């Protein structure tokens, strides 16, 4: 039996300050070192870290390490998830698809099914699009957005071998038959990329909210929207992307205080390019450090300076000649298009802080535009 000992262990129910774990294919025993007794056949595993935590469950991830669930082969998906397990600590993974042609989505369903036969970490599929709102499409291609259709979803579920677990959808666009099919087939209805009103959401079957705060009708003093529903509705769980870019820390605290930790699900929403670029930079830096005998140290000032530069760029991009609240509908639509171009350029230049600032401003402008139209 393998053994890890003298570690701080987070069990999910509590913390053992100095504990041990015996395991093989599964965890067989967890306890405090105060009650530890050696056993014949113990094989101690050397671990560099000081803490042991449960494996991470990622229910919303599009890919990583140069691969994407939408176009990767079964072998590539299998290898990608193995990398996530080894390097990120992922032990349960939902392959997430996105808004594309039905043909491409069906190919992805088949490839994910085949990959899941090889890799037990793949436990399901999260369908994010095409059944969403064009108003809050986010990074989804609007030309492929469709009205929620239970027959199409049933076909995808069949192709995947029954792996569908979550569907992100716009409740305001869905008929009762769509929600009924999901409930009967164990597919969680997650409100996301949605412009739904609070009343519409309360009347819907949604029990989950996709990436709270992002790409959805936000919290407003006159209309709680999707964000308010994710925080307030009884029994609803909400995803959070806690990467420091999608949501500022204080808004994470707000969600946790209002919703409660048991109602929050941390996700990566990772993409092919993001993890691939991060890993590439990490490998280049590690090789350079090793060649030159450098031991990395945290430099707080350098990080703050980088953030400061990004914020200055974002601030310059956001300068406006006219107050948005005094703009006409046409002026707002023109401004939104211009800021979308600036945001995409900032992201392409890897200026993620500026892109995030622009994205947040776009969300505010779209809210203002919707209020004008109501």
Whether 304 maps to a domain, the answer reads yes
Alpha-carbon Rg for the chain, nearest whole angstrom, is 23
Question: Rounded to an integer, what distance in angstroms lies between the CA atom of residue 322 and that of residue 284?
Answer: 45
Q: Is the pLDDT of residue 303 over 60?
A: no
Whether 222 maps to a domain, the answer reads yes
Q: How many domains are there within the chain?
A: 3
Q: Are residues 191 and 334 in the same domain?
A: no
Classify residue 212 as exposed, middle or buried by CB count within 10 Å of its CB (0-12, 13-18, 19+).
buried
Which residue among 254, 272, 290 closes a domain? Answer: 272
Read off the pLDDT of each residue in 306-334 and give the average, rounded to a whole number: 60
pLDDT at residue 231, as a whole number: 97
Q: Is the pLDDT of residue 357 over 80?
A: no
User: 76 vs 356, which has greater pLDDT?
Assistant: 76
Angle, CA 339 vertex, CA 334 and CA 344 arms, to 5°: 130
In terms of Cα–Cα distance, which of 264, 246, 244, 297 is closest to 59?
264
Q: Are residues 47 and 70 in the same domain?
A: no
User: 1 vs 290, which has greater pLDDT?
Assistant: 1
**Which one of the listed residues 58, 68, 269, 360 is annotated catalytic?**
269
Q: Are residues 152 and 207 in the same domain?
A: yes
Please write the tens of the pLDDT for every residue from 57-96.
999 999 999 899 999 999 999 999 999 999 999 999 999 9
User: 365 vs 233, which has greater pLDDT?
Assistant: 233
Which residue among 220, 237, 272 closes a domain? Answer: 272
Please write the tens of the pLDDT for every residue from 248-298.
999 999 999 999 999 999 999 988 755 555 555 566 667 767 777 766 554
Q: Is the pLDDT of residue 239 over 50?
A: yes
Read off the pLDDT of each residue in 16-38 and give the average, rounded to a whole number: 94
Which residue among 37, 52, 67 closes a domain? Answer: 52
Q: Are residues 39 and 74 in the same domain?
A: no
* Highest mean pLDDT out of 255-259, 326-330, 331-335: 255-259
* DSSP line for 333-359: HHHHHHHHHHHHHHHHTT-HHHHHHHH
User: 329 vs 200, which has greater pLDDT?
Assistant: 200
Q: Is 269 a catalytic residue?
A: yes
Number of helices (H), then strands (E), in the chain:
11, 15
Structural contact between residues 8 and 15, judged by C-beta atoms closer than 8 angstroms: yes
Question: Rounded to an integer, what distance in angstroms lies between the CA atom of residue 208 and that of residue 238?
Answer: 6
Q: Is the pLDDT of residue 312 over 50?
A: no
When the pLDDT of each residue in the chain is averaged and rounded to a whole number, the result is 87
Read off the pLDDT of each residue in 141-161 and give the average, rounded to a whole number: 97
Whether 280 maps to a domain, the answer reads no
Q: What is the three-class DSSP state of 92?
A: strand
Q: Is the pLDDT of residue 151 over 80?
A: yes
Q: Are residues 326 and 354 in the same domain?
A: yes
Q: Are residues 60 and 41 in the same domain?
A: no
Please write the tens of the pLDDT for every residue from 207-233.
999 999 999 999 999 999 999 999 999
Q: What is the three-class DSSP state of 311?
A: helix
pLDDT at residue 349, as a whole number: 63
Instruction: Return phi, psi of residue 303, to 5°.
Output: -65, -45
Whether 279 maps to a domain, the answer reads no
Q: Are residues 78 and 166 in the same domain?
A: yes
Structural contact between residues 226 and 191, judged by C-beta atoms closer than 8 angstroms: yes
144-154: buried (b, 16+ CB within 10 Å) or exposed (e) per residue?
bbeebbbebbe
Whether 82 maps to a domain, the answer reads yes
Structural contact between residues 61 and 93, judged by C-beta atoms closer than 8 angstroms: yes
Q: Are residues 137 and 211 in the same domain?
A: yes
Q: Are residues 267 and 204 in the same domain?
A: yes
How many CA within 13 A on the CB side of residue 223? 17
Q: Is the pLDDT of residue 165 over 90?
A: yes
Q: Is the pLDDT of residue 24 over 80?
A: yes
Whether 342 maps to a domain, the answer reads yes
pLDDT at residue 295, as a whole number: 64
Read off the pLDDT of each residue in 172-176 and give the average, rounded to a whole number: 97
Q: Is the pLDDT of residue 169 over 50?
A: yes
CATH code of the domain in which 92 resides:
3.20.20.140
pLDDT at residue 305, as a whole number: 42
The answer for residues whose C-beta is within 8 angstroms of residue 370's C-beta and 6 or more apart is 135, 195, 217
Please write the tens of the pLDDT for every residue from 115-132.
999 999 999 999 999 999
Quick check: pTM over 0.75? no
Q: Provide the 10 A C-beta neighbour count for residue 39.
A: 10
Q: Are residues 139 and 229 in the same domain?
A: yes
Q: In terms of residue numbers, what domain contains 182?
A: 56-272
Q: Are residues 67 and 167 in the same domain?
A: yes
Q: What is the three-class DSSP state of 99?
A: coil
Whether 287 maps to a domain, the answer reads no
Q: Are residues 188 and 102 in the same domain?
A: yes
Structural contact between residues 215 and 191, judged by C-beta atoms closer than 8 angstroms: no
In terms of Cα–Cα distance, which of 104, 109, 113, 115 is closest to 77?
115
Whether 196 maps to a domain, the answer reads yes
Classify residue 253 as exposed, middle or buried by CB count within 10 Å of its CB (0-12, 13-18, 19+).
exposed
Structural contact between residues 145 and 101, judged by C-beta atoms closer than 8 angstroms: no
354-372: buried (b, 16+ CB within 10 Å) or exposed (e) per residue?
bbbbbbbbbbebbbbbbee
Q: Is the pLDDT of residue 355 over 90?
A: no
């Amino acid at each position: 039996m393998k053994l890890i000992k003298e570690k701080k262990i987070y069990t999910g129910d509590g913390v053992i300050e100095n504990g041990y774990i015996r395991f093989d294919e599964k965890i067989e025993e967890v306890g405090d070192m105060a009650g530890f007794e050696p056993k014949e056949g113990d094989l101690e595993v050397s671990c560099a870290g000081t803490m042991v935590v449960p494996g991470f469950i990622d229910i919303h991830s599009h890919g990583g390490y140069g691969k994407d669930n939408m176009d990767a082969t079964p072998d590539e998906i299998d290898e990608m998830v193995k990398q996530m397990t080894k390097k990120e600590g992922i032990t349960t993974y939902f392959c997430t698809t996105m808004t594309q042609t039905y043909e491409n989505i069906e190919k992805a369903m088949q490839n994910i099914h085949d990959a899941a036969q090889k890799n037990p970490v793949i436990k399901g599929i999260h369908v994010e699009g095409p059944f969403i709102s064009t108003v809050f499409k986010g990074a989804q291609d609007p030309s492929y957005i469709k009205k929620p259709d239970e027959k199409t979803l049933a076909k995808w579920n069949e192709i995947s071998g029954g792996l569908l677990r979550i569907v992100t959808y716009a409740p305001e666009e869905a008929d009762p038959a769509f929600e009924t099919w999901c409930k009967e087939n164990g597919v969680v209805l997650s409100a996301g990329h949605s412009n739904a009103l609070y009343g519409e959401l309360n009347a819907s079957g949604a029990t989950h909210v996709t990436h709270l705060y992002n790409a959805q009708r936000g919290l407003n003093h006159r209309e709680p929207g999707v964000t308010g529903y994710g925080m307030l509705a009884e029994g609803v769980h909400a995803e959070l992307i806690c990467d420091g870019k999608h949501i500022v820390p204080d808004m994470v605290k707000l969600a946790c205080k209002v919703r409660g930790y048991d109602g929050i699900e941390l996700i990566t929403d990772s993409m092919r390019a993001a993890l691939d670029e991060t890993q590439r930079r990490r490998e280049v830096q590690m090789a350079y450090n090793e060649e030159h005998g450098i031991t990395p140290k945290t430099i707080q000032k350098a990080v703050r300076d980088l953030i400061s530069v990004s914020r200055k760029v974002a601030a310059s991009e956001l300068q406006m000649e006219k107050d948005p609240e005094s703009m006409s509908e046409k002026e707002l639509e023109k401004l939104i298009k211009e800021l979308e171009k600036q945001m995409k350029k900032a992201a392409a230049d890897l200026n993620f802080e500026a892109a995030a600032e622009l994205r947040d401003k776009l969300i505010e402008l779209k809210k203002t535009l919707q209020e004008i139209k109501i």
